[in-house]
Structure 1
């Protein structure tokens, strides 16, 4: 039994040695000869595949980057017209709001003082108007002096300007002037949403004092999102309205999305020598982008259709490129012929064949050719 095992092991070694010699001979033939023979069993075991030349679209592209954004009128920063203390802030980041919806409530004694001033001026105005009209009539009838008439006119018009100013200030504070005239004075002011959208920032909590310069919260309307890209000065003359864009969100997905150039900036950023390009997203309603997402984009500046081969079908031998075409098949053996290639434009998967006439209507080895090279390197 021991001798049988030794014999079997020896035969296995001989078989492996013959297999390696067959592989090496094929690789050596691929490098040194224009005619290569591959058996049917080799063809099948290595999952080789035949194909033909294909017409492919090759794009000239500009690589750029940018972010998901919205137009300026789709953003709103909420601030108080006058300073005050926050007494009510019912919203959280992500909450959806409608135009006119209550956002926050502020309280400040100064609000009361402004309403008191308005009420006082409002009460005086009727008397001052009546006195101005009386003095005007007397002056017209030469009964009173011009000095008294001008004094009454100045006092009335000064109070009228103060009245209109305070009334406008109340309007900006969202306080009803009519209610104040009825004696209803409030110490609180409500701030309301000026657009539909989602709350993206909340910078306060109950009890926080805010000044007119402070941003209380921000709202963004995502109904129209777009791409805001930065294109370097050297490439900007190639960019025009209507050009197609392919872009990805590298941090969130491998999916490729489409957009279209809508506006090209007319000024150059002096720091990085780039120009802003505004692009509209195609089928934006089918996406779920978030404002501020980083994007990598390719602007397609030109397209051309050419005959091409998959890169897997192109063999590189001694700094030259080749394809293998079937010369004939007989006795379960493929007879391949090497054709030297002149390569042109390339993309991720295909390469243009400039001497395509040599390959037209030919059966080409498009899969499995690299196995010959890999085996030769083992």
Structure 2
């Protein structure tokens, strides 16, 4: 019994795990040796979860050792060759996939809100209705909004009127200032000539000089634009301010008609007639609208797997609502940054988007679906069960063929690997051929060159 356990331990350790606990092993052995083995049992023998690869190897090796014990017993204690089960080598395809899950949702989603403290008078749409861009969703009481527009309009009109008055005042004042300056300058020139001829006094000359200078300074008090006088800039700024306020009030009036910003389906209505638009249920948006014509999945891919995920990779999507069917999808976007996985884990995840290609399916937004991303695929290659692989002490890989009841190791490298099968690539291309008999689950008891007994196929 200890020898039997040791052999299974060796295989499991080679695959991925340490030795089995004694109680786990005893239960597994009891399960294998039981007359009821093979029948469906309701009670599970193991509480410890094993990986699919580990289950394949342990189950295969245990079965081989069980047969070996039985074969030795049948031989009456005489030396007997190891019985093995074989499978014919053939070419096929193998696909490596990544299984993930996430919510199904529309490609476009908007939340319609209102900051107007106005009563909702009418709601012409309900959840599930399809709407077009610009379609009316709700009508709000516009009395207050209209008053605000009237007040803002009056303030704007007053600002414009004031500006016009000041503009006219500037034009007239500038014209008079220029006229006064020309008159003062003519008087100065005349008085200067008289002074030089001795007919005017120094005081008279100084008087007309001061008058001319005062007229010149008066001209500089006016603002010119392109050589023409304009009203003070403050009046222009006041018009701009009032124009902005008026535009805001007009937009508020327009917003008393709540419209859809996109074409889509109304998936949530969080408001009611008689309530105020800015006081919705639990402060949620008035409406949530999704474009459900094209669905997608938002998933999180582990940082340890994201290196294999590429935009454009095909995806197979399943969900309970599909009743066993699947639909096609495609990876369309991968976030350039990761985020915390949560739950106290230090692992990071990368948000990834999968576009659902088959849109005429039973899938609906809001449910959780499962997706298998096709990471890589190999076609027309040699494919064997994972259990058929042998890992040598130096880390190299091999498969065991049986020719004339003799084991022959064939060195190989592995390629694309699924959950249960793997692509093998021989070091010598001529070493593999269609129909070559390979041992399904070679144990450590089997060595290159040893004699074995091939058990009949169960199929």
Q: TM-score, normalised by structure 1?
A: 0.62
Matched, 1:217 2:291: no
User: Deviations for 1:49-99, whole angstroms, at most 9, x for unmatched residues?
Assistant: xx964422212233322222344xx22211124221111012111100011
Q: For residue 92 of structure 1, give the secondary structure of its aligned residue in structure 2.
A: coil
1:259 paired residue number: 329
The aligned counterpart of 2:93 is 57
Give the drift of 1:339.
8.4
Query: Against the structure 1 CA distance between its residues 339 and 67, is the aligned structure 2 distance closer, same or farther, given a 3 Å change threshold?
Result: farther
Paired residues of 2:90 and 2:434 also in contact (CA < 8 A): no
Q: Is the 8 A contact 1:245 1:259 kept in 2?
A: yes
| Distance of 2:337 and 2:361 partners within structure 1 | 31
Partner of 2:139: 105
Q: How far off is 1:151 after superposition?
A: 8.1
Q: Which has the higher Rg, Structure 1 or Structure 2?
A: 2
Structure 1 Cα separation of the partners of residues 152 and 327 of structure 2? 57
Unmatched 5+ stretches in structure 1: 1-24, 37-50, 176-188, 315-320, 328-336, 372-378
CA distance in 2, matches of 1:324, 1:93: 67
Could you tell me which residue of structure 2 aligns to residue 295 of structure 1?
369
Contact 2:170/2:222 (8 A) holds in 1: no
Residue correspondence of structure 1 range 20-31 to structure 2 within 5 A = none
Structure 1 CA distance for aligned equivalents of residues 433 and 233 of structure 2: 100
* Corresponding residue to 1:197 among 257, 264, 282: 264
The Cα shift of 1:231 comes to 0.6
| Structure 1 contact 322–338 (Cα < 8 Å) conserved | no
Cα 1:57–1:141 change in 2 (3 A) is same
- The answer to whether the 8 A contact 1:83-1:108 is kept is no
- Which residue number in structure 2 is paired with residue 236 of structure 1? 306
- For residues 89 and 265 of structure 1, the distance between their equivalents in structure 2, rounded to whole angstroms, comes to 38
For the Cα contact (< 8 Å) 2:145–2:252, is it kept in 1?
no
Q: Report the Cα distance in structure 2 between the residues aligned to 1:341 and 1:359, rounded to whole angstroms.
A: 14
Distance in 2 between the 1:130 and 1:245 partners?
Answer: 69
CA contact (8 A) 1:34 1:338 kept: no
> In 1, distance between residues paired with 2:433 and 2:243?
90
Distance 1:360 1:167, change over 3 A: closer
2:250 aligned with 1:170, yes or no?
yes
Q: Distance in 2 between matches of 1:353 and 1:160?
A: 77
Alignment of 1:70-109 (within 5 A): 70-71=106-107, 74-107=108-141, 109=143
Query: Compared with structure 1, are the counterparts of its residues 323 and 93 closer, same or farther at alpha carbon in structure 2 (3 Å cutoff)?
Result: farther
Q: CA shift at 1:232, angstroms?
A: 0.7
The alignment status of 1:121 with 2:131, answered yes or no, reads no
1:277 pairs with 2:357: no
**Farther off after superposition, 269-278 or 105-114:** 105-114
Judged with a 3 Å threshold, the aligned counterparts in structure 2 of structure 1 residues 35 and 137 are, in CA distance, closer, same or farther, namely closer
Q: Identify which range, 353-362 or 230-239, moves more after superposition.
A: 353-362
- Provide the C-alpha distance between the structure 1 equivalents of 2:119 and 2:326, rounded to a whole number of angstroms: 48
Q: How does 1:339-354 map to 2 (within 5 A)?
A: 347=418
Q: For the residues of structure 1 that align with 2:307 and 2:262, how far apart are their CA atoms?
A: 37
CA offset at residue 170 of structure 1?
Answer: 0.9
Where 1:237 maps in the other structure, the secondary structure is helix
Mapped partners of 2:432, 2:93: distance in 1: 20
Per-residue deviation at 1:260?
A: 2.4
**How big is the alpha-carbon RMSD for the aligned residues of Structure 1 and Structure 2?**
4.5
Whole-Å Cα distance in 1 between the matches of residues 268 and 321 of structure 2? 22
What is the alpha-carbon distance in structure 1 between the residues aligned to residue 284 and residue 160 of structure 2?
39
Q: Indicate which of 360, 376, 392 corresponds to 1:286.
A: 360
- Going from structure 1 to structure 2, the CA distance change for 1:59 and 1:363 (only over 3 Å counts) comes to closer
Give CA deviations for 1:240-286 in whole Å, capped at 9, x if unaligned.
222222232246542233322222222111244100122333x3333
Aligned partner of residue 111 in structure 2, secondary structure:
strand
Give the C-alpha shift of residue 360 in structure 1.
3.3
Q: Does 1:158 align with 2:212?
A: no
Asked whether the 8 Å contact 2:146–2:253 carries over to 1, the reply is no
Cα deviation, 1:100-153, whole Å, max 9, x if unaligned, reads 111001116531331221332244245223213212212422559959999865
Aligned equivalents of 1:362, 1:237: Cα separation in 2: 36
